[in-house]
Amino acid sequence: MHRILFVCLGNICRSTMAQFVMQDLVNRAGRADEFVIDSAGTSDEEHGNPPHHGTVNKLRSVGVPVLKHRARRVRASEYGGWDLIVYMDEDNEWSLSRIFSGDPAHKCVKLLSCIPEDSDFRPRAHLHDGSVRDVADPWWTGNFDDTYRDVRAGCEALLAHLS
């Protein structure tokens, strides 16, 4: 069983999109019984809110089912319950390190780091300095197409890695 938690700041845009995309990918692959997938945020700013309408609209436009979800904050006590905690950007990494008091079991990974460096994915996930870029944040850009592109590529690479 693979237990995966996707994390962003508020849990209404990127992490929920990743949760729904990953669930759709494993369902289509006939592997739903092998996975537990959820999402959370590193803050309480959006606690209880549904997924952002931009996320909902984008997913519906590409045929990805939108699941029932309310934003929540990840808790320190959850660390042991997940195999992977997949975050969207460097700020999330810093926040998770504070919430979990580090990452002793090395469970926390940046979503776009799942894409191999030699991938044809454009724009590249790995930058020229070797770092991994963040998943595009539609909260600031309003561009849910770029976010979906990043999330889809990251989730496909993650699923391939777990196969």
Mean pLDDT along residues 8-19: 97
The residue from 14, 89, 114, 152 that is catalytic is 14
Query: Looking at residue 22, what is its pLDDT?
Result: 98
Query: Looking at residue 141, what is its pLDDT?
Result: 87
- Residue owning tokens 């391939």: 160
37: nearest Cα among 86, 98, 97 = 86
What three-state secondary structure class fits 28?
helix
87-141 pLDDT, tens per residue? 999 999 999 999 999 999 999 999 999 887 767 766 666 556 767 778 989 988 8
What is the biggest distance separating any 2 CA atoms in the chain, rounded to whole angstroms? 40
Query: Looking at residue 99, what is its pLDDT?
Result: 98
Q: How confident is the model at residue 34 (pLDDT cuts 50, 70, 90)?
A: very high
Q: Is the pLDDT of residue 19 over 90?
A: yes
The Cβ-side half-sphere exposure at 50, using a 13 Å CA radius, reads: 8
The residue from 89, 134, 137, 150 that is catalytic is 137
Show me where the domains of the chain are located. Answer: 2-161
Residue 14 appears among annotated catalytic residues: yes
Query: Looking at residue 163, what is its pLDDT?
Result: 84
List the structure tokens of 93: 């990494």
Query: Looking at residue 14, what is its pLDDT?
Result: 97
What three-state secondary structure class fits 157?
helix
Spell out the CATH class of 2-161: alpha beta
7, 78 Cβ separation under 8 angstroms: no
List the structure tokens of 14: 């990127």
Residue 8 appears among annotated catalytic residues: yes
Q: What is the DSSP string of 77-128?
A: GGGGG-SEEEESSHHHHHHHHHHHTS-TT--EEEGGGGS-TT---SS-SB-T
Residue 137 appears among annotated catalytic residues: yes
Mean pLDDT along residues 27-56: 97
54-94 pLDDT, tens per residue? 999 999 999 999 999 999 999 999 999 999 999 999 999 99
22, 53 Cβ separation under 8 angstroms: no
The residue from 8, 13, 108, 114 that is catalytic is 8
23, 67 Cβ separation under 8 angstroms: yes
